Structure formats: structure tokens, C-alpha cells
A and B are shown apart, each in its own frame.
Chain A
Amino acid sequence: MTTDESYIERIGNTRRKRFTKHLLLCLASIVMLYPLLWLVSSSVKPTEIVFKDLSLWPAEWDFSNYTEGWTALEFPFDLYLVNSVVIVVLSILGNLLSCSLAAYAFARLNFRGRKLFFALTLGTMMLPGHVLLVPQYIVFAKLGWLNTYFPLIVPNFLATSAFYIFLMVQFIRSLPRELDEAARIDGAGTFRIFWSVILPLCKPAFATTAIFTFISTWNEFFSPLLYLTEQELYTVPLALRQFIDSEGQSQWGQMFAMSFVSLAPVIGFFIAGQKYLVKGIATTGLK
């Protein structure tokens, strides 16, 4: 490593390596990007030729699917977007608050019944949702919550998503326990440790939870379908499904256009949120 040649060789090697790496990543990216490109391309083709012209680059760009699709349903599409955003934002808030509280308790606190409760939580994750539909519907109907957003939002404030609880439990348990103990020695109480020590270090888990909640709530189809009855309350996935039906004259082009529109917030949220994914312990004060 002392001569110039080996130094140059080493640089060359690194460059070559880096080049191969990027080449591989780029190739993989094409496979991953393909669906989006296809969706965009299909959204600017008239419905008549969507299934005939399969080229990725449309012969001509026709944006009428966007303008017509926006107003094709009972309400303009922005209403459905706003409805979805309201549900999504509140669901994220609910999940972050309630699941982090529960997860901290399950991961760090020692109380009677903890293991049983945690096992129950995991258990609810293992049972297929279809058999829960009817009993859940009955509960919500008894509460008088049909045709409101409550069945879609309130459960998120009550730590019903086992997935996020489990995710945060695992994250918290991967944090060094010395942090808690140091804080405890400094006189911090349980809640203070949770709020000032654990939470700041859980940003990646928070970001993951927020992103996953966004996506799953944004795409959720069946619950809104079941609980919302008025068009005015409908969410984006319900709206999208109204463009097509096997017995109707499906407006595929408009459906593609509005699908792309509805993807934009998700992609935007992911890009905005992903910087928090990296703000973990590695970049905070722990040196």
C-alpha cells in the first residue's frame, strides 16, 4: 500500500466497484419503477386503446382522462382526496400516540399481566380479519357510528394495531437499557423517561409507523366500504372502484388517471417522511 501504483489501483478498484453497484441498482430500479411508468403511460391513453396499444411511450398524449376523470363521479375528485387525508392524518396521530405508549409499557415496564396482554395483542394479529367483520360491525352499529369516520379512526387511538405495537416494542428493546437507568438515576420518572429518552430515539420507528399507516389507511378499501354509506364521505379507493365494473362500460383511462393522482400524496409523504427514517441513534447525541 505504500507505492503509488497500488494506491491508484485501489482507487480504480473502488471506482469500478462503485460503478458496478450503481449499475446493478439502476437495473433493479427499472424493474421497480416499471409499474409507475406503465400507469402514467396508460393514464394518457384513451380507454379504447388502453388494451390495444401496449407501448410504454404513448403515440399521443391525451390528458382528457385527468380532466374528465376528476369530475366523472358524483362529487369532484378533490372531495374524496380530502376525506382520505382527514382519515389518514388522524389515524397516523392515533397510532403514534397509542401504540408508542403501549409499546413502551410492553417493552420496558414490569407489571402483572404484561405477558398475557402482549400475547393477546399478537393473537389478534394472527386471526383472519374476515371472521371479525360481523362482530365488529355490530359493535360499531351499537355505538351508532355507522356512516361516520369514527370506526375508521377511533380504533387507531386505542392501540388496536398490533403490528405497530410489535414494531415499536422491538425498536425500544433494541435501545440500550443503560439510557433508561441513567435517566432514572438523574431522577426522571417513568413518563419522563418515555417522553425525553425513548421517544426521541424512536424516530425511525415513528417514521416507519407513520408511513405504513399512511399507506395502509390510504389504500384501505373494505372498512370504508362497510361503514360509510354516503357518497359525500367516500374515500379515494371507493371512488376509484366506481370507474369500473365488470358489467359496465368501465372507464379504464379515467381510472388510471385518478389512480395516479391518488398515488401522488403517498409518494410525496414517503419522500418527505423518509428523512426521519435515518435520524436514529446514529445521528443523535449518542457519541
Chain B
Amino acid sequence: MTLAPVKHPAVSEAPVSPPKAAKPPQDRSGYLFILPWFLGMAFTIIPFFASLFLAFTDYNLLNVPNWIGLENFAEMFSDDTWWQSVKVTFVYTFVSVPLSLAAALGVAMLLNRGVRGLPVYRAIFYLPSLLGGSVALVLLWRYIFGLNGIVNAFLGFFGIEKIGWTSDPDFALTTLIILHIWTFGSPMVIFLAGLKQIPAMYYEAAAIDGATKWQQFRKITLPLLSPIIFFNLIQSLISSFQTFTQGFIFSGGKGGPANSTMFYNLYLYKQGFEQFHMGYASAMAWMLLIIIAAFTGLNFLLAKRWVHYDN
């Protein structure tokens, strides 16, 4: 395939989020392309708006819901456990997302630079993400982070006293954050794929111009990878705000010790399916959607400053 040469990214700086006022006129064929998506709305959008309706009701799963207006939303603000779940989720998100993304990007760049045995390393680093929600892993965590587990044994060498990684309310969330960072393999794979999209000739040209590695990173890698960084950021934010399985497995669904791992979605689940307060759970879900949407929206706004699309 022969294609027209590409302009240097530095030249075509058009940092536009949604390609606004894109030159091509209205293209009706777009509807054809999203036809499957339209049909899929039956499975996504209908339940989506059904839950919005239920957020304003006293739905208990078994009886017909009654409209109660904003009561569920008001209830949240006087619910201590709800606040606790917000706190846990925020701390978890804002600590683990930057750390795991930094680790993912760092390792991806290291691996991208022609390391011998790249496929092997890539597979190995991805492994913890493959194991995901495996039942077997619960026992492993206990083995690693237990009072007499290997982490404490290792720290013991340095004279550090045993830490209750899973039993001490001050440490349990830290343990979950560590476990989260450990699965940096997923964003790493996406970064690696993105890095491969950057034409090698840019680097060659820059090297000839005498650009240092750091300059190359700033001027080539970052701008060209920015749509992928942006994707990973949004995706990690959303999934981290919605953390459930990890917390559920870790505490056996209790959010303990002392509610220190009571994630937002775990509390929502307990309200919905243990207490049968599905109306309240739906309201909680929509509140979370508002929170996530606010952060995502903020990121889309900020993206105009740093995400470069080639338009």
C-alpha cells in the first residue's frame, strides 16, 4: 500500500477534542455504521433509563415501586456508610490510578525500545491481569499479605514489625491499592499497542536533528501517544471508581475491617441485594454516574490542552 506522506506532528498541531467542524459534510452513512449500536440500545439504554426511574422510587425488588421523589438522594447525605464508601473509593482511585498508569507507561516504554525477549516480558507483566478475579487468587493474597506471609517476612529483614495487611483497618486499603498497581499489565498492553502506532521515522528524524531522549519523549512520544494516554486515564478512572470484585473478594463482601474497604459499588450492592433497597441503590448508582461524568467531563475539557489528534 502506498500512502501520502505524513506531516511532522509538530507541524500539524491541531489539538481538538471531538473533531469539531470537521471538513467533510454530513455523512449519512454514519447511521449505517452505528446500526448495530442502535439495536444494542435495547440491552443498554433501556435498562439504563429504567434504573434512572427507579432511583426516584422505593423499589425493593419484590413490590411495585412507588415514586418518592428525591428522598433517596437526600438520604445519602445523612448516611455515614455512604460517606465512608465515597472516601474509600476516592482515596483508592486517586492513589492507584496515577501510580498504575505511570508504571504501565514506564514499563511499556522500556519494553518498546527493542529489549530482547520483549514478548516474554510482556506476557509475564500481563499475567497478574490475566488472573483477574480468579477464586484461587484469594488464597494467594492471604498467603502473601498474611500476618506470617511473605511480605511481612521480607519486611522483617529490615526490622519492621508485622503489619496486619488484611486485618488492620489502617492498612487494608493500602493492600488493595498495591494489588491494583500490580495489575498494571492491561494499560501497559494498550500503551504498547499505541507506541507501535508511532512511525519510527519520527524518531530517526529527531535523532538526526540531535534531539535528546527526553526531547524525543516530550515532542514525539507524548503528543502522539496522548489519545491513548487519554483513553487509559479515562478508562482507569471509570473502572477504579467502580471497583467491586476486588473489594468483594478481599473482605468476603463485608467491606471490612471496620468498613475500611467499603467501596462505593460494594455498598451499593449490599443496599440493593442484601437490604433490598434497590431504589436507594439505583439512586447511588446515578450519583456515582454524576461523579464519574464530572471527572470525565473535566478530563475532556483538559484534554484540549494536551491530547493531540491528527486532524
Contact = CB atoms under 8 A, between A and B. Distances in A.
Interface of A: 21-22, 25, 28-29, 31-36, 38-39, 42, 54, 97-98, 101-102, 104-112, 114-115, 117-118, 120-132, 134-136, 139, 154-155, 157-160, 163, 165-167, 170-171, 173-179, 181-182, 190-191, 194, 200-201, 204-205, 207-208, 211-212, 215, 219, 221, 240-241, 244, 252, 255-256, 259, 263, 266-267, 270-271, 274-275, 277-287
A171 B121 contact: no
Contacts of B54: 131
Contacts of B126: 270
A285 B2 CA distance: 7
Nearest to B309: A173
A120 B45 contact: yes
6 contacts: A35-B128, A131-B54, A135-B51, A271-B123, A277-B189, A286-B3
Interface of B: 1-4, 6-7, 18-19, 22, 24-31, 33-37, 39-40, 42-48, 50-51, 54, 61, 107, 110, 115, 119, 121-137, 139-140, 143-144, 182, 185-186, 189-190, 192-194, 196-201, 224, 227-228, 230-231, 234-235, 238, 241-242, 244, 264-265, 268-269, 272-273, 278, 281-282, 284-286, 288-289, 292-293, 296, 309-311
- By CB atoms of chain B within 10 A, which of A134, A215, A259 has the most? A134
A21 B18 contact: no
A174 B48 CA distance: 30
Contact of B310 (A105, A177, A207): A177
Nearest to A103: B33
A102 B47 contact: no
Contacts of B46: 135, 139
A174 B123 contact: no
Nearest to A158: B40
B194 A174 contact: yes
A131 B230 contact: no
Contacts of B30: 105, 109-111, 114
Contacts of A177: 310-311
A160 B42 CA distance: 10
Nearest to A140: B43
- By CB atoms of chain A within 10 A, which of B134, B230, B234 has the most? B134
Nearest to B131: A35
Given A136-B47, A200-B1, A270-B126, A221 B133 contact: yes
Given A39-B140, A123-B48, A131-B272, A280 B22 contact: no
B3 A179 contact: yes
Given A122-B296, A200-B1, A280-B193, 11 more contacts: A29-B125, A36-B131, A123-B48, A127-B48, A128-B268, A175-B197, A178-B7, A178-B310, A205-B193, A270-B123, A281-B198
A106 B130 CA distance: 30
B37 A117 contact: yes
Given A117-B34, A155-B40, A281-B199, A135 B47 contact: yes
A111 B265 CA distance: 36
A166 B119 contact: no
A285 B199 CA distance: 11
Contacts of A194: 33
Contact of A128 (B24, B25, B242): B242
A196 to B, nearest CB: 8
Nearest to B201: A287
- By CB atoms of chain A within 10 A, which of B135, B193, B234 has the most? B193
A280 B196 CA distance: 5
A134 B45 CA distance: 13
A131 B4 contact: no
Contacts of A171: 193-194, 197, 227-228
Given A131-B282, A132-B47, A157-B36, A263 B131 contact: yes
Contacts of A110: 19, 22, 24-27, 30
B193 A124 contact: no
Contact of A160 (B19, B40, B110, B310): B40
